[in-house]
Amino acid sequence: MKVAVDRDLCTGHGRCYSLAPRVFTDDDDGYGQVTGDGTLPDDLAEDAHSGANSCPEQAISVTVGPVEPRRR
């Protein structure tokens, strides 16, 4: 599963990291961000969807299924 926060849409309400602190945190400016690189194990799916569904700006995307490995 891959989770991402669109920084251009996020206005910093903080609902995502309040409801799902294992998936989301806030940055130095108070905007939501995903912990780590955004690749999450399936056992955090409920938390990821809870945070995404709570976002009034719909700034969070959750992609379920095979995640392409990062290329360097």
CA 19, CA 32: separation in Å to the nearest integer? 12
Overall number of domains in the chain: 1
Q: Find the domain containing 48 and state its range.
A: 2-63
pLDDT beyond 70 at 68: no
* 11 part of a folded domain: yes
This prediction has a pTM of 0.84
CATH of the domain at 53: 3.30.70.20
* 68 part of a folded domain: no
- Determine the 3-state secondary structure of 42 from DSSP: helix
Burial code (b: 16+ CB inside 10 Å, e: under 16) for 29-58 equals eebbbbeeebebeeebeebbbbbbebbeee
Mean pLDDT of 59-67: 84
* 58 part of a folded domain: yes
**Hey, what are 33's tokens?**
């961000």
Q: What is the pLDDT of residues 12-59, one digit of tens each?
A: 999 999 999 999 999 999 999 999 999 999 999 999 999 999 999 999
